[in-house]
């Protein structure tokens, strides 16, 4: 019979395996106006108590569906991408711009249908004819002008992000179709409206045939402006109504295209034009919505049009930065306030900027703007890439607001914090927060019964993302992320201490499996401590494995010095607790480098440990202990920190399966033991443990059933002791290497 006085042992084991999940982890990214942080990932935070300016998330308050963020791949941009970059530079930039996991994740691109002012090769359309000739059926239509640079650039972008969508916008019809007989000036001659509809249809079909379907198409770029030195075409609201109602709309409806037709495509300062077009029932049936530029007027115009026609979408399609607005900080605040936050709060489903890339001379271009700035700047001589404030602004939304996301309720605090929130199709949430003030603002976010706090720096833009069941996780183990403003790499996600930027820095020399590595050094012989740390959410009983590769360089090595690199996993009862504070629960530690360590070779190290009862955070720490008058450096790369399934049979939760676990298991049987107990334990849990001579009574069938009911949770895990596995030490008085400077 089972000895019921041992039920607490069984209940404790069951509770260990079914403990409540840790508080959700929150990812944090910040760009500050002083450029000290540029789309920089901060250490994760978790939901917990605290105070601050309260922003409340309301997922039941639902608004528009988001379609995407991006910029225009003009002929100028594509020419730079294809002709001014090496293969390696282009691949890196494509990842920076379009990767949804490592870059900005841009996913909605605008194309000029024919030439705009930003072309490197002169003005053109897809059916240019000698003077006096016409082609009503558009038999001579050809995408050849786009084959050298634009289509290859789209191929490169789509290879990185297959979810990219495209919008087409015409600057001008072919000259032979216009009242001016030229790409410059004039309007569309009435007799060619049907042919023009065919021209636009063939554009969409030709791009689809190249693997780049056109998701949406505006009827005319800036119809109320006719430039004098580059292609343009005037189009009144009455003309646009006739064009879409009687020609373009029916032509696209009769085709197999899913392309959405969009009205207006001009500035915020005129709401009468788009409302007039949408008021016409014949035109409205073919239109998905209206598009806006931001060169005049106010973003609230989007709400004015949406209120008049709530069934039609709002698109923001163009604004540019330039030398006329040189201040990074002010530009960051403007983009966040008016486009990312204000645009979405005024029903916008997209944010697209003008040129994706320009050179240092605001070119190449033919007429038009001579001081515009691209999302990135490509040096025309070296191919060096500068990521501008337009890049960082877009990235704060495009990386985290998925296509198909829904804007949900969030409040803003006048003159303190401005916000917009989204719920993604995968259930995750994204919150953009602008602090336009000159001082740090404490933020408190409330999402149902959960809340988190964070200090938002002055004049900065922050993005927070979370899901209900995500833990604070480990990021940037290769020191690669967030290097958009440097040669690559950063300490994003890590907390650094010591003389950072000198003693603690990322280097692209001697990296292991990536482009960068962490370098900890003491060049001047001063004693002390420096290093980095990063925490993840855990609960008691979790098994964790930390990996790292460490190199002691031959030049500036630690040979003959007393300097040491300590690799540790520290445990805390509160996420973010202080070392050797009451929240500190203990640590596992190894020496990963010292004066006797071989130089010039990457050496692997691993810590395998189990979180003690009450743990809420496991913190991976690299501490470089520097003795007075000793110099030298260590490099760290290929870092991993992960939760793994517990070891089968580790009943005392010390990360090792041995005779001590057998004792815990046997004691759970009560006072009656049999000689077969050890054989049973050894067969199920302790295959790698040493033999144990014992005479033990037979176990009860009930206990065996209970033991086996726990086993499936633990099945399949190795009971081997990994290299460098350390026993957990619960200590409040660790060695001096624990001191943080």
Got the DSSP string for 154-185?
A: HHHHHHH-TT-EEEEEES---GGGBTTSSSSS
- Strands 260-267, 287-293: parallel, antiparallel or unpaired by DSSP? parallel
Q: Which H helix or E strand runs over 137?
A: none
Contacts of residue 61, Cβ cutoff 8 Å, sequence gap at least 6: 408, 409
**210 classed as catalytic:** no
Task: Out of 222, 390, 570, 617, pick the active-site residue.
Answer: 222
**Residue 10 main-chain phi, psi, to 5 deg:** -65, -40
Contact (Cβ atoms closer than 8 angstroms) between residue 233 and residue 187: yes
DSSP structural state of residue 341: I
The total number of residues shown for the chain amounts to 741
Mapping DSSP onto H, E and C, the string for 499-545 reads CECCCEEEECCCCCCCCCEEEEEECCCCCEEEEEEEEEECCCCCEEE
Contacts of residue 234, Cβ cutoff 8 Å, sequence gap at least 6: 186, 187, 223, 224, 226
**318 classed as catalytic:** yes
**Residue 504 main-chain phi, psi, to 5 deg:** -125, 115
E strand intervals along 153-259: 165-170, 216-218
**Residue 650 main-chain phi, psi, to 5 deg:** -85, 75
Task: Out of 67, 276, 318, 389, pick the active-site residue.
Answer: 318
Contacts of residue 195, Cβ cutoff 8 Å, sequence gap at least 6: 135, 136, 137, 138, 177
CA dist 659 to 215, 608, 693, Å?
Answer: 65, 19, 11
Buried b (16+ CB within 10 A) or exposed e, 595-618: bebeeeebeebbbbbbbbeebbbb
Contacts of residue 87, Cβ cutoff 8 Å, sequence gap at least 6: none
Contact (Cβ atoms closer than 8 angstroms) between residue 260 and residue 217: yes
Q: Is 551 helix (H, G, I), strand (E, B) or coil?
A: strand
- Report how far residue 732's alpha carbon sits from residue 579's, in angstroms, rounded to the nearest whole number: 9
Name the residue among 722, 682, 678 with its Cα closest to residue 698: 678
- What number of other Cβ atoms are within 10 A of residue 371's Cβ? 13
> Would you give the distance in Å from CA 547 to the centre of its chain?
24
Contacts of residue 640, Cβ cutoff 8 Å, sequence gap at least 6: 474, 477, 545, 546, 547, 548
β-sheet bridge partners, residue 447: 57, 450
Show the tokens assigned to 360. 């240092």
- What number of other Cβ atoms are within 10 A of residue 441's Cβ? 20
- Report how far residue 741's alpha carbon sits from residue 579's, in angstroms, rounded to the nearest whole number: 12
Angle at the Cα of 525 from the Cα atoms of 520 and 531, rounded to 5 degrees: 25
Name the residue among 548, 447, 569, 335 with its Cα closest to residue 54: 447
Contact (Cβ atoms closer than 8 angstroms) between residue 664 and residue 552: no
Angle at the Cα of 667 from the Cα atoms of 665 and 672, rounded to 5 degrees: 115
Q: Which residues are catalytic?
A: 222, 318
């Amino acid at each position: 019979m089972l000895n019921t006085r041992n039920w607490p042992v069984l209940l404790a084991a069951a509770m260990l395996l079914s403990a409540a999940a840790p508080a959700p982890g929150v990812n944090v990214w910040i760009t500050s106006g002083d450029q000290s942080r540029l789309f920089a990932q901060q250490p994760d935070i978790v939901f917990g108590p605290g105070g601050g300016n309260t922003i409340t998330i309301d997922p039941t308050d639902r608004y528009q569906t988001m379609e995407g963020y991006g910029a225009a791949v003009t002929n100028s941009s594509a020419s730079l991408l294809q002709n001014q970059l090496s293969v390696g530079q282009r691949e890196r930039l494509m990842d920076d711009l379009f990767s949804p996991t490592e870059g900005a994740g841009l996913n909605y691109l605008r194309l000029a249908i024919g030439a705009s002012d930003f072309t490197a090769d002169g003005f053109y359309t897809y059916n240019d004819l000698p003077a006096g000739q016409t082609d009503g059926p558009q038999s001579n239509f050809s995408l050849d002008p786009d084959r050298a640079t634009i289509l290859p650039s789209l191929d490169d972008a789509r290879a990185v992000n297959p979810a990219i969508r495209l919008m087409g916008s015409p600057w001008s019809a072919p000259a032979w179709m216009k009242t001016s007989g030229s790409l410059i000036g004039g309007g569309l001659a009435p007799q060619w409206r049907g042919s023009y509809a065919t021209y636009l249809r063939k554009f969409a079909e030709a791009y689809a045939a190249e693997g780049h379907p056109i998701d949406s198409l505006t009827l005319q770029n800036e119809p109320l402006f006719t430039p004098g030195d580059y292609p343009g075409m005037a189009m009144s609201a009455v003309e646009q109504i006739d064009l879409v109602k009687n020609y373009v709309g029916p032509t696209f409806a009769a085709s197999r295209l899913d392309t959405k037709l969009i009205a207006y495509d001009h500035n915020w300062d005129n709401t009468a034009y788009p409302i007039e077009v949408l008021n016409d029932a014949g035109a409205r049936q073919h239109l998905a919505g209206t598009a806006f530029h931001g060169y005049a007027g106010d973003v609230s115009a989007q709400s004015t049009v949406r209120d008049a026609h709530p069934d039609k979408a709002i698109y923001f399609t163009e604004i540019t930065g330039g030398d006329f607005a040189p201040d990074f900080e002010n530009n960051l605040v403007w983009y966040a306030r008016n486009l990312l936050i204000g645009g979405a709060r005024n029903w916008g489903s997209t944010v697209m900027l003008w040129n994706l890339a320009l050179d240092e001379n605001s070119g190449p271009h033919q007429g038009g703007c001579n001081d515009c700035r691209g999302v990135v700047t490509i040096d025309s001589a070296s191919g060096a890439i500068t990521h501008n404030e337009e890049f960082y602004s877009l990235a704060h939304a495009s990386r985290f607001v998925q296509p198909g996301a829904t804007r949900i309720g969030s409040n803003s605090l006048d003159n303190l914090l401005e916000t917009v929130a989204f719920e993604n199709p995968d259930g995750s949430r994204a919150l953009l927060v602008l602090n336009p003030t000159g001082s740090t603002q404490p933020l408190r976010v409330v999402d149902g019964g959960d809340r988190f706090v964070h200090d938002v720096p002055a004049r900065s833009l922050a993005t927070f993302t979370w899901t209900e069941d995500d833990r604070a996780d480990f990021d940037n183990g290769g020191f690669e992320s967030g290097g958009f403003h440097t040669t690559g790499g950063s300490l994003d996600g890590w907390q650094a201490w010591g003389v950072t930027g000198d003693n603690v820095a990322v280097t692209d020399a001697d990296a292991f499996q990536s482009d960068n590595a962490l370098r900890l050094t003491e060049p001047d012989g001063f004693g002390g401590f420096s290093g980095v740390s990063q925490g993840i959410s855990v609960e008691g009983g979790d098994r964790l494995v930390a990996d790292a590769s460490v190199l002691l360089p031959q030049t500036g090595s630690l040979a003959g010095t007393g300097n040491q690199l300590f690799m540790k996993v520290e445990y805390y009862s509160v996420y973010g607790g202080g070392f050797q504070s009451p929240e500190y629960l203990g640590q596992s530690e190894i020496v990963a480098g010292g004066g006797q360590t071989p130089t010039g070779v990457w050496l692997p190290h691993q810590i395998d440990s189990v979180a003690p009862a009450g743990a809420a955070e496991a913190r991976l720490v690299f501490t470089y202990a520097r003795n007075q008058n000793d110099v030298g450096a260590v490099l760290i790369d290929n870092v991993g920190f992960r939760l793994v399934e517990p070891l089968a049979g580790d009943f005392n939760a010390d990360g090792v399966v041995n005779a001590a676990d057998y004792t815990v298991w046997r004691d759970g049987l009560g006072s009656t033991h049999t000689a077969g107990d050890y054989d049973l334990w050894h067969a199920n849990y302790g295959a790698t443990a040493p033999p144990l001579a014992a005479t033990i009574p037979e176990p009860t069938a009930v206990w065996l059933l209970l033991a086996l009911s726990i086993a499936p949770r633990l099945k399949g895990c190795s009971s081997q002791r990994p290299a460098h596995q350390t026993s957990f030490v619960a200590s409040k008085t660790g060695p001096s290497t624990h001191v943080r400077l």
